[in-house]
Structure 1
């Protein structure tokens, strides 16, 4: 901030306004940059969208071609195998659809049956050549007869074999030249559903070309002149490359079989979009043309959807030269740069002109205010000197009375302190006596509690003896149970013996005693189990008896030891409490004596305080006249000081204005308050005098405190206005005590 204040207002205005222009320009620049990004993204999205559009067009055409051959196979004339009639029907199909150069029908053995006689352009075909051949060894015939079709039953594609882009050998035989095409083949069945032959439509690529040309026409109409559209197979091999700019913008599709078609694999050449299509990824990105070496924007999409068999795997790329694509926006940006620079320059010029005018006007105003501030400051300084002298004269008259009043105040304060202290001491003494009596009563209560604890310990000991006797009875009961268990063991033994005897008798009885023998054996087993259980119970009872006896002995020993210790501690506590009781009785006697002595001191101090108050009241009446004079002089001095303070504030504001207008480095910004120095009033050795301003006294209970001394500065200092009353007697700590 200090650095900024060093400069003049003209420079500040120039800097601020130019910064505003620069910020607004920067905002516009950023907005334009954002517009550029959106514009370019829109171009990219358009290219990608049109690659998807071509994909849709090709799918529609594929769907129609896939169904055409099956529709032809259902024609009754075709199924009749009447060669003459079939040729007429097939010629009609060729003329109607305009896509199939050759439609060939053979029987189930591959022998020629019929074919159209003219191609799409109306030229006659060499049907005699076709008639001489057997097609049973061709791949399309074999697959069709076996039912190996290009199918996707989830999309209802079934019954047609598709051979993708290729140099068609049948069209070459019929037309005499190599031509690229796509073939669609289906079975011909009779009314019983048995295969009687095969029909194959040898299509041109016109249905693919028209899909591409249609999109190119739409894009070229809106400024995309250098478009290149490429169709690749699922491995990245180029099937069709439509680049009118390469052929002087001819709309016909030309197949460069020497360099591109069936030879150039763009995926193997590491072209990003082609690699993405091979991996079934669609999108738009920048890529360098493999042959041309130029940077292009490429939108690419897979030819896949509900109207094509996905196994075909074609991909389409729409490519545009990036430099051509960006030329329009670059021109617009260049225009923006020129306009932006022009606006900045005009802003700087206009700001410089108006800034100078405003700065000059404010400079003149600041000079006038500077002169007025100097004159006012000089006048207020003289007033302050005169009022200060008047104030000193009045304070000298009041100083003697003030000193006397201060001494009386100090004495009164001391007496008041003594009185208050004696009263507080008496109260504390009474509290101490009361606390001592309470402590004595507490010790008596403690002795009673110790007696009760001793009695409780005796009761606990008696109860433990009773508990031990009951546990001993339990031990005896366990012993009795053990004896009964031995009786059970005797019974078990007798039962086993009887079981054994019964088994012997059953054995003697032979067949008649077998059932009884089984019973005797089970009785013996039960007797054995009962004996085992009786032994386990006997063992548990012996262990329980042993542990119970051990617990009783340990408990008796531990309880006797604890009760013995408790009795010792209770006896010791009782003796200690008795000693405390005796000490507290001695303390209570001493506290009572001190309380009586403090009461005598308090009465004497109160009588002294009443006498001092009467003296202070008389001195207050004597001070009435002096306080009135002090009030008048003090108010006069305060008024002059306030005027001087306001003049100083005005001077500071003018200086600040000059700093703003001309800057802190300008020599003209330094104001002289007055050509003549304002002299401070000479002091006449009154440094030890005290100035008192009195206000109405509300009470005569004066507490003396050290006087805070503050010097009264003559000129330029701030003095608060004081309210003075003639019948007031200030206390010693009155904040209006000041040194002169």
Structure 2
């Protein structure tokens, strides 16, 4: 490649030099640009991770305050015994001040409500009186507090508080007549002696976490990242907060979807970020959203630190659509590549124009020099007229050629013997051809046997296909089993739901559980349906096993039959191949005989070599004539030597200049391939050297052991007018009608 470039034209060299510099700079610029783009992507990922880290810290701060609030509130009820307006007003003040507590209840150790706020955080009256009719002893938060199942970490000074993770609070719904997503913090109320006398529980709605998320969303909205999404998971992987304004017409309000909250598990859905979180990892990655299918950049962080109990196990995910985040980078890449291509094209055009313009000017100068050299070459070529004398000397070569006839006759006799040997070889070849034909027929039979094997294999494949069709029947049966299983699952689900409703009804009715009997009867009906479905599934399984067994047996019998047929076909092919081997062994024996005949032909060739030696002696006469022609040619060359040297020097300068400009367009003979400019002086020098070398080669060729070879006396000699043999003189030139020419 480098050699081709060095021998190319001047304008090509200039163009390649410019393009090489542009390409090197372009590659460097592209690499630096891509490094910049990659760093921008890393900055975006780091920003998302910092956001998740900030969310984790903010949630910890809020949890720390809510955890401490309930313990602080309990101190006010230290001597509490009966309900009074003073305590209700105190609770109303707390609710208004914090703005996140929907209700705060104070119960005795039996679950009886003693006091509760009767105003909402915005100061409006609420119907909290209905709560005095309920007993809270069966609620989870009350039972776990009584059992001292606290969410605590003594090293971080978290003690004595029970925490209920985010859920839809039925008691708040009773009071406010709307579903409220809430949490519960509960702790004991102690008297002055340190004995527990009651339980206080705060029910802050989940806005104490959601407000942190919406504030972060405002920052991302300023960056025009509308696909910003925050997901909070509990320790089981269930979603307890799902904030995605882009799915809510870009509304800032947080939606509480019961189908998602505490129902959709990202870990079970195989979400990569959730899996890494539960493996103890934190960081960022790109993956598809398991619900929307959008490719997202996701930052994931565990909510752990000094202001939260790590046992809570919350985990936060911050997600943004990759297409939205990378849109600016992609636009920058497109702008960069378009600009780079335009600049590269402009520079290439300018380089091509500059190199072509310079090359054409230099080429014009070189061609003018070549034209002057052409005129000088014509003058030098006139000196070659003396070479016409060579034609007269060529007549003398004819006499020497007569002596070659005798040797040719001897070669003819030897060739006849060779022909006889070739005839015998031909017969043997015919025998081999017959054997090969027979072997061909046997091979054809072998092919037919192999074809039978192929047919057997085809039958095997057909049986396998048939087996697959039968297996598909098994798949249908399994599908039916699956549908029946779904029925059982639905019945089980409804049974659980009815049981739950029965327990709620009984709890509300107290001892007068009138609706419990109706629910119990419905549960019995569902249990009966579940039993019937189970029987159907058992029957279908037995049928499936029977079908599978029959298919396996049938397939086994069919395959055994086909394998037996294939075995017979293979044996037939083996016998035929052995017969083929014997035939080709006979062909090998005939080949040995042909080789012996070839040895005879080689002996005949040695005799022919002796005849060729005689021809060499006759060619010696041609040597002396060749020397005469060489002397005349040298004399002609000396006449043109002066002009030739001058022409050659000019030609060298013109050729060198043209080579620099056009590169390989100048041939080794000095002729421009494009314009056809001749270089006669150089051609004459080559012609002179070539003739001199040929003469010297011929002179050496017709010598034997360094001496002149004697000529062979011709069989037919010329005769005079009286019919007598005429012996030609050594220097006599034969006439055009010499009888020796007739044999030639």
Matched, 1:65 2:66: yes
Residue aligned with 1:340, SS: helix
Structure-to-structure mapping, 1:253-268, within 5 angstroms: 253-257=254-258, 259-268=259-268
2-side partners of 1:186 and 1:652: how far apart?
Answer: 110
Residue 324 of structure 2 is matched in structure 1 by 324
Residue 278 of structure 1 is matched in structure 2 by 278
Q: Deviation digits for residues 605-660 of structure 1, max 9, x if unmatched? A: xxxxxxxxxxxxxxxxxxxxxxxxxxxxxxxxxxxxxxxx9x99999787545422
- The Cα of 1:111 is off from its aligned counterpart by 2.2
2-side partners of 1:219 and 1:204: how far apart?
Answer: 25
Residue 213 of structure 1 is matched in structure 2 by 214
Matched, 1:101 2:102: yes
1-side partners of 2:310 and 2:27: how far apart?
Answer: 52
Matched, 1:289 2:289: yes
Matched, 1:143 2:138: no
- The Cα of 1:204 is off from its aligned counterpart by 0.4
Structure-to-structure mapping, 1:252-401, within 5 angstroms: 252-257=253-258, 259-363=259-363
- The Cα of 1:97 is off from its aligned counterpart by 0.5
Residue aligned with 1:122, SS: coil
Q: Aligned pair in 2 of structure 1 residues 4, 52: CA closer, same or farther (>3 Å)?
A: same
The structure with more radius of gyration: 1
Residue aligned with 2:287, SS: strand
- The Cα of 1:10 is off from its aligned counterpart by 0.9
- The Cα of 1:360 is off from its aligned counterpart by 3.1
Q: Aligned pair in 2 of structure 1 residues 650, 181: CA closer, same or farther (>3 Å)?
A: farther
Residue 117 of structure 1 is matched in structure 2 by 118
8 Å Cα contact 1:78-1:86 kept in structure 2: no
2-side partners of 1:675 and 1:198: how far apart?
Answer: 121
Matched, 1:35 2:36: yes
Q: Deviation digits for residues 448-476 of structure 1, max 9, x if unmatched? A: xxxxxxxxxxxxxxxxxxxxxxxxxxxxx
Structure-to-structure mapping, 1:586-597, within 5 angstroms: none
2-side partners of 1:147 and 1:670: how far apart?
Answer: 114
Q: Aligned pair in 2 of structure 1 residues 309, 364: CA closer, same or farther (>3 Å)?
A: same
Q: Aligned pair in 2 of structure 1 residues 62, 671: CA closer, same or farther (>3 Å)?
A: farther
Q: Deviation digits for residues 397-452 of structure 1, max 9, x if unmatched? A: xxxxxxxxxxxxxxxxxxxxxxxxxxxxxxxxxxxxxxxxxxxxxxxxxxxxxxxx
Residue 719 of structure 2 is matched in structure 1 by none
8 Å Cα contact 2:79-2:191 kept in structure 1: no
Q: Deviation digits for residues 542-587 of structure 1, max 9, x if unmatched? A: xxxxxxxxxxxxxxxxxxxxxxxxxxxxxxxxxxxxxxxxxxxxxx
8 Å Cα contact 1:79-1:189 kept in structure 2: no
| Greater mean alpha carbon deviation, residues 302-311 or residues 20-29 | 20-29
Q: Deviation digits for residues 154-198 of structure 1, max 9, x if unmatched? A: 222111111010121332333333321011111111222111111
1-side partners of 2:372 and 2:82: how far apart?
Answer: 126
8 Å Cα contact 1:303-1:316 kept in structure 2: yes
- The Cα of 1:664 is off from its aligned counterpart by 2.6
2-side partners of 1:650 and 1:314: how far apart?
Answer: 94
8 Å Cα contact 2:373-2:679 kept in structure 1: no
- The Cα of 1:367 is off from its aligned counterpart by 6.4
- The Cα of 1:317 is off from its aligned counterpart by 1.2
Residue 205 of structure 2 is matched in structure 1 by 204
Residue 703 of structure 1 is matched in structure 2 by none
8 Å Cα contact 1:101-1:202 kept in structure 2: yes
Pairs aligned (count): 413
2-side partners of 1:188 and 1:157: how far apart?
Answer: 17
The normalised TM-score by structure 1 is 0.51
Matched, 1:50 2:51: yes
8 Å Cα contact 2:230-2:244 kept in structure 1: yes
Structure-to-structure mapping, 1:123-522, within 5 angstroms: 123-257=124-258, 259-363=259-363
2-side partners of 1:367 and 1:81: how far apart?
Answer: 123
8 Å Cα contact 2:95-2:121 kept in structure 1: yes
Q: Deviation digits for residues 298-338 of structure 1, max 9, x if unmatched? A: 11111111111111111111111122222222222222222
Q: Aligned pair in 2 of structure 1 residues 665, 133: CA closer, same or farther (>3 Å)?
A: same
Q: Aligned pair in 2 of structure 1 residues 74, 59: CA closer, same or farther (>3 Å)?
A: same
Gaps of 5+ in 1: 376-644, 681-740
8 Å Cα contact 1:172-1:179 kept in structure 2: yes
2-side partners of 1:149 and 1:33: how far apart?
Answer: 54
8 Å Cα contact 1:6-1:665 kept in structure 2: no
Q: Aligned pair in 2 of structure 1 residues 311, 648: CA closer, same or farther (>3 Å)?
A: farther
- The Cα of 1:366 is off from its aligned counterpart by 5.4
- The Cα of 1:677 is off from its aligned counterpart by 7.1
Residue aligned with 1:236, SS: coil
2-side partners of 1:250 and 1:670: how far apart?
Answer: 87
Residue aligned with 1:74, SS: helix
Q: Aligned pair in 2 of structure 1 residues 656, 338: CA closer, same or farther (>3 Å)?
A: same
8 Å Cα contact 1:236-1:267 kept in structure 2: yes
Q: Aligned pair in 2 of structure 1 residues 56, 672: CA closer, same or farther (>3 Å)?
A: farther
Q: Aligned pair in 2 of structure 1 residues 368, 155: CA closer, same or farther (>3 Å)?
A: farther
Residue aligned with 1:101, SS: strand
Q: Aligned pair in 2 of structure 1 residues 677, 190: CA closer, same or farther (>3 Å)?
A: closer
Residue 612 of structure 1 is matched in structure 2 by none
2-side partners of 1:649 and 1:46: how far apart?
Answer: 77
2-side partners of 1:186 and 1:19: how far apart?
Answer: 79
8 Å Cα contact 1:77-1:85 kept in structure 2: no
8 Å Cα contact 1:237-1:264 kept in structure 2: yes
Residue aligned with 2:326, SS: helix
Residue aligned with 1:183, SS: strand
Gaps of 5+ in 2: 376-644, 690-744
8 Å Cα contact 1:72-1:78 kept in structure 2: no
Residue 724 of structure 1 is matched in structure 2 by none
Q: Deviation digits for residues 350-405 of structure 1, max 9, x if unmatched? A: 11111022223444565688899999xxxxxxxxxxxxxxxxxxxxxxxxxxxxxx
- The Cα of 1:215 is off from its aligned counterpart by 0.9
- The Cα of 1:670 is off from its aligned counterpart by 8.6
- The Cα of 1:290 is off from its aligned counterpart by 2.2
2-side partners of 1:675 and 1:184: how far apart?
Answer: 111
8 Å Cα contact 1:234-1:277 kept in structure 2: no
The normalised TM-score by structure 2 is 0.51
Residue aligned with 1:136, SS: helix
Residue aligned with 1:306, SS: coil
Q: Deviation digits for residues 201-240 of structure 1, max 9, x if unmatched? A: 0110011111111111111111211112111112211111
Q: Aligned pair in 2 of structure 1 residues 78, 89: CA closer, same or farther (>3 Å)?
A: farther
2-side partners of 1:677 and 1:22: how far apart?
Answer: 47
- The Cα of 1:277 is off from its aligned counterpart by 2.2
Residue aligned with 2:318, SS: strand
- The Cα of 1:77 is off from its aligned counterpart by 7.1
1-side partners of 2:150 and 2:91: how far apart?
Answer: 23
2-side partners of 1:360 and 1:278: how far apart?
Answer: 74
1-side partners of 2:130 and 2:31: how far apart?
Answer: 72
1-side partners of 2:682 and 2:111: how far apart?
Answer: 129
- Supply the RMSD in Å over aligned alpha carbons: 3.3
1-side partners of 2:174 and 2:343: how far apart?
Answer: 74
Q: Aligned pair in 2 of structure 1 residues 187, 369: CA closer, same or farther (>3 Å)?
A: farther
2-side partners of 1:345 and 1:286: how far apart?
Answer: 37
Q: Deviation digits for residues 516-566 of structure 1, max 9, x if unmatched? A: xxxxxxxxxxxxxxxxxxxxxxxxxxxxxxxxxxxxxxxxxxxxxxxxxxx
2-side partners of 1:28 and 1:234: how far apart?
Answer: 49
8 Å Cα contact 2:78-2:190 kept in structure 1: no
Residue aligned with 2:175, SS: helix
Residue aligned with 1:36, SS: helix
Structure-to-structure mapping, 1:583-662, within 5 angstroms: 656-662=656-662
2-side partners of 1:121 and 1:261: how far apart?
Answer: 27
8 Å Cα contact 2:648-2:682 kept in structure 1: no
8 Å Cα contact 1:655-1:670 kept in structure 2: no
Residue 20 of structure 1 is matched in structure 2 by 21
Q: Aligned pair in 2 of structure 1 residues 673, 111: CA closer, same or farther (>3 Å)?
A: same
2-side partners of 1:344 and 1:212: how far apart?
Answer: 49
2-side partners of 1:655 and 1:290: how far apart?
Answer: 75
